[in-house]
Amino acid sequence: AQRVTQPEKLLSVFKGAPVELKCNYSYSGSPELFWYVQYSRQRLQLLLRHISRESIKGFTADLNKGETSFHLKKPFAQEEDSAMYYCALKTSGSRLTFGEGTQLTVNP
């Protein structure tokens, strides 16, 4: 069965420190993974997808099929990065399975 696990519900770092939000998945097919973000009082929106292999707002994520992981990383966290982050796995055709989310707080 498909499953997405984000082991940390809360993550707190200081400004300028590196940050890593963990995501592990379980899927029998070829995985396609995404990170969505919800800033305070804003809508949930796509941050990045593994197929694009791009860096958005300084964040990167690499798909590791051996470890079935798709961790989100940023070398120097900023206060404006404080938000709720969701890892999502594309499953059958049109659907996404979301993890439970990680609330990131970047302290000044």
Partner 1 sequence: NAGVTQTPKFRILKIGQSMTLQCTQDMNHNYMYWYRQDPGMGLKLIYYSVGAGITDKGEVPNGYNVSRSTTEDFPLRLELAAPSQTSVYFCASRETLRETQYFGPGTRLLVL
Binding site for partner 1 (CB under 8 A): 4, 6, 9, 32, 34, 36, 43-46, 49, 86, 90, 94-101
CB of 43 to partner 1, least distance (A): 5
Q: How far is the CB of 75 from partner 1 (least distance, A)?
A: 25
Q: How far is the CB of 100 from partner 1 (least distance, A)?
A: 4
The DSSP symbol for 58 reads: T
Identity of the residue, 15 or 50, whose beta carbon is nearer to partner 1 in the bound complex:
50
- Judge contact between 12 and 105, C-beta under 8 A: yes
**For the chain, what is the total number of helices (H) and then of strands (E)?**
0, 11
Cβ proximity to partner 1, 15 vs 38, nearer residue: 38
